[in-house]
Every structure is written in C-alpha cells, then in structure tokens.
Amino acid sequence: MKLFYQTHSPYARKVLVLAHELGIAEDIDVIHHETSPTNRNEEVFGVNPLGKVPVLICANGLTLFDSNVIAEYLDGLHRGRRYLPTEGRARWLCLRMQAVAQGIADAGILARWDTERRPPALRWQTYADGQLEKLNAAFDYLEEDVTLDGAPDLGQVAAATALSWIEFRAVAQFKAGRPRLARWYERFVERPSMRATDYSGDTHD
C-alpha cells in the first residue's frame, strides 16, 4: 500500500498513527506531498479530485480518501481488537469522538488562516475568534468525555492527533484548566505510535 501523506497534517497523521497502533505500518509506503488550497499538487490531484491528503492506494489498486474512510479500511486489515467497534453504543461513541476531533482540526486550521496564513490585509480576526470559541467548547467537551478512560480506539487516535496539531501550531491552549484532558493527552502522546509520527515542516502556500 502507498499513503500520500503530509508531515504536518492532522488528518494524515491520524491514519499513520492508527496504522502503527494496528501493527501494519510496515506494510505502507509513506510518501510525503505538500498540498494547500493555493499550491496545486498535480500528483495528489491525480488520485484525489479534491487535491488533499491523506490518500491510500491499496494493494489491489483501489484508491481511498479521506482520513475517516482510510481509517475504517485499515481497521479491517488486521485480526486484533477493532479500533472502530463494529456495532452498538461503543461504535457510535467512537465515531462521535472522531467527529469532535475532526472539528477541532477543522476549526484550528481555519483560525490559523485568519491569524497567520492570509495576507495581513485580508485577515478577519472576528472569524478567527469564532473558530477559537468552537475550539474551547470542544476542549471543555473532551474534559468531560468518559470515553477517554477506555482502551485506545480510533476516536482517541483522532483526538490525540488533532490536539497535538493544535499544540504544534500553537493555535490554542487546551491543557490549562482541564486537568483530566491534560493528563490523558500527556499519556497518549508517549505511545510508540505517536512518537513515531511527530509533526514536522512548514506550510507552503
């Protein structure tokens, strides 16, 4: 399998962390690609009409995107405990956690556009503040989410990679005043899967 990846994408890292957790990372050829809305990558567009990573090219030639689809596919390739439960309440709680995590990554990226990435004359602080409000509400939600106490699953992988991106880009503070979330996060980032996939690199627009 080939994974079109980006070393500073929270969505791509979620997929690779999961692959490490599942013990199948060695079966994946990871290929870094720079992408952004203002920097067209023809090779990525060749496999994903949205021009985004991650993209997984499966051994049988099937091409999959986005991170949620790829994660579910990878979770079906091993014989161990499923990181995305197949049924019942556990499945929906896991998917809900993944949705919150994806929202954190989405809001963080949008906030960063209007505080750092747009030309100064085009930045809109009110819009950035609206995204930061969403982030703080999501952090408070995770502080109370009991599913953080369970065995690692796809929801937790998504949360850890989203929060670590927020920390990597210094977009917002999520540890202060949230001791339970902070303790869980500090434990999770020490997992071998996280240590093997650290963020690196700058955005190229």
Q: What does the pLDDT look like over 25-35, one tens digit per residue?
A: 999 999 999 99
61 and 158 fall within a common domain:
no
129: confidence class by pLDDT, cuts 50, 70, 90? very high
147: confidence class by pLDDT, cuts 50, 70, 90? confident
Classify burial at 57, counting beta carbons within 10 Å of its beta carbon; exposed 0-12, middle 13-18, buried 19 or more.
middle
Domain extent for 59: 2-75
Contacts of 167 (CB under 8 A, 6+ apart): 174
99 and 132 fall within a common domain:
yes
The end-to-end CA distance of the chain, in Å, is: 28
* CATH number, domain with residue 23: 3.40.30.10
State how many domains the chain has.
2
Mean of the per-residue pLDDT values for the chain? Answer: 96
Residue 30 β-bridge partners: 3
- 203 falls within a domain: no
- 204 falls within a domain: no
189 and 106 fall within a common domain:
yes
- 136 falls within a domain: yes
For residue 3, the SS3 value is: strand
Q: Which tens digit of pLDDT belongs to each residue from 102-122?
A: 999 999 999 999 999 999 999
Q: Which tens digit of pLDDT belongs to each residue from 31-68?
A: 999 999 998 999 999 999 999 999 999 999 999 999 99
* CATH number, domain with residue 100: 1.20.1050.10
pTM: 0.96
